[in-house]
């Protein structure tokens, strides 16, 4: 449910997800160890190659800020188990690579300095830890390895390690705004992770922090966050993945639930050297406005290169989004579902008595607005702040990608479109 705790998050609306790790060096997919059934030995050779020569967290933060993103979530540990920070509980970490750096700390310092809220992604799955049960993960790289079959695994030992690492992140890195746990298979969800221990630490060390819903769920399964009686660890927001829900997400009581669509720029989370199927700038913008119009957030993913830079198409996309946001951000931040139904030509968002309209379709004619003229106090074009003089309630001539503000009163849902004179 929306609350004071989630207010900053719901007002932010637009964030950056960052998937960067050993897998980025292969440049195919963050699941590559699993997809190719790579042995630890093969995969771990990457550690010696991780130099991160061009990694500059300030550059990342500047790109996110310019794009208009208000929060960012970075992979502290992905499924491969490699820690992008100086964990005292393992040697399998970035500080032991040639880079010798604590990427989490650098990420946090730079993004905080840029005024961006910070979060860490932490994988519940761990393909490296000897006690992580490969049978629990149908995609575990060792699942077809006969040598791995007879291995004694002590799951409690893994859980102790995991809880210990979460404690490190909660206590050694200052205030964290989000922890993004990922993810739970249906048969390995909720209680499997001894989540109450995690929640107790969160309440003790980072009581303001938000968590996603994936201690119980995944991209498609929301866990109990939508139930009338969510569990203690149901999460503060739902995390639909690579899809936008058809309508605002509400719980069983009909109350809006904060949510965030996580979406890749191209077809991969981790860096892929040949994937050039980047979404267009206008598709991302439309998607962002769509999320806001349905009461949700968009967290757009970046997969940095092996050396730690943002690729050219990534930078271009972020820069173009930022140009649009600089003019139109007002229709995104602090806005939510409008009381009016979606118009044919685009989307409405709303903040208090202000209705925002984003024109997304080309048209040969004016754009009808389902608000009687008498109720519109003033109508402004966002790009230049100039008041639009509507000669009557039909006559708003508009252009694609332009946003308008209507200051109006007392609009009710489904207000009938007045008959043309």
Which positions lie near ligand JFZ, rule CB under 6 A?
30-31, 182-183, 218-220, 241, 262, 269
> Residue 356: beta bridge partners?
349, 405
Q: How far is the CB of 207 from ligand JFZ (least distance, A)?
A: 26
Structure tokens at 392: 């009557």
End-to-end C-alpha distance for the chain, whole angstroms: 44
Smallest gap from residue 352 Cβ to ligand JFZ (A): 33
Q: Which is nearer to ligand JFZ, 96 or 218 (CB)?
A: 218
Strand segments (E) across 162-268: 178-182, 210-211, 260-264
Residue nearest to ligand JFZ (CB): 218
CB of 217 vs ligand JFZ, minimal distance in Å: 8
* Smaller CB separation from ligand JFZ, 27 or 418: 27
Q: How far apart are CA 266 and CA 61, in angstroms?
A: 20
Shortest separation between residue 399's beta carbon and ligand JFZ, angstroms: 36
- Report the SS3 class of residue 281: helix
By the 8 A CB rule, do 397 and 357 touch? no
Give the residue with the Cβ less far from ligand JFZ, 88 or 242: 242
Which CB, 264 or 354, lies closer to ligand JFZ? 264
**Closest CB to ligand JFZ among residues 79, 358:** 79
The token pair at 150 is: 């007879």
Q: Pick from 221, 305, 295, 219: which is nearest to 263 by CA?
A: 219
Q: Which is nearer to ligand JFZ, 166 or 338 (CB)?
A: 166
> What are the distances in angstroms from CA 246 to CA 261, 272, 295?
12, 29, 11
Nearest approach in angstroms of CB 122 to ligand JFZ is 11
- Torsion (CA) 390, 395, 396, 399 in degrees, nearest 10: -140
CB of 184 to ligand JFZ, least distance (A): 8
């Amino acid at each position: 449910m929306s609350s004071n705790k989630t207010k900053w998050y719901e007002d932010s609306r637009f964030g950056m997800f960052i998937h960067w790790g050993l897998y980025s060096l292969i440049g195919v997919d963050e699941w590559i160890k699993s997809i190719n059934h790579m042995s630890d030995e093969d995969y771990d050779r990457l550690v010696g190659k991780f130099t991160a020569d061009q990694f500059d967290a300030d550059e990342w933060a500047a790109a996110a800020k310019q794009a208009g993103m208000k929060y960012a979530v970075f992979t502290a540990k992905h499924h491969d188990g490699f820690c992008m920070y100086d964990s005292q509980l393992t040697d399998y970490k970035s500080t032991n690579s040639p880079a010798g750096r604590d990427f989490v700390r650098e990420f946090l310092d730079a993004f905080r300095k840029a005024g961006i809220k910070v979060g860490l992604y932490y994988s519940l799955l761990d393909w490296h830890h000897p006690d992580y049960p490969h049978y629990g993960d149908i995609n575990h790289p060792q699942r077809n390895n006969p040598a791995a079959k007879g291995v004694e695994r002590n799951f409690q030992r893994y859980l102790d390690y995991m809880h210990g690492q979460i404690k490190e992140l909660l206590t050694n890195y200052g205030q964290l705004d989000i922890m993004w746990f990922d993810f739970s298979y249906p048969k390995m969800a909720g209680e499997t992770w001894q989540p109450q221990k995690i929640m107790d630490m969160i309440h003790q060390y980072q009581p303001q922090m938000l968590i996603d819903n994936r201690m119980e769920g995944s991209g498609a399964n929301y866990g109990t966050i939508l139930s009338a009686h969510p569990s203690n660890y149901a999460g503060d927001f739902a995390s639909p993945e690579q899809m936008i829900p058809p309508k605002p997400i509400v719980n069983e009581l009909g109350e809006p639930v904060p949510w965030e669509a996580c979406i890749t720029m191209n077809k991969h989370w981790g860096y892929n050297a040949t994937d050039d199927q980047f979404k267009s700038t206008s598709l991302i913008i439309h998607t962002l406005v769509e999320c806001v119009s349905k009461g949700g957030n968009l967290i757009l993913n970046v997969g940095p290169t092996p050396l730690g830079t943002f690729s050219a198409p990534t930078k271009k996309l972020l820069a173009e989004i930022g140009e649009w946001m600089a003019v139109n951000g007002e229709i995104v931040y602090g806005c939510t579902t409008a009381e009016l139904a979606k118009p044919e030509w685009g989307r409405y968002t709303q903040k208090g008595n202000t209705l925002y309209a984003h024109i997304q379709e080309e048209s040969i004619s004016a754009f009808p607005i389902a608000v009687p003229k008498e109720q519109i106090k003033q109508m402004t074009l966002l790009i230049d702040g100039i008041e639009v003089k509507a000669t009557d309630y039909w006559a708003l001539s508009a252009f694609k990608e332009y946003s308008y503000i209507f200051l109006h009163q007392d609009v009710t849902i489904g207000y009938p479109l007045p008959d043309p004179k």
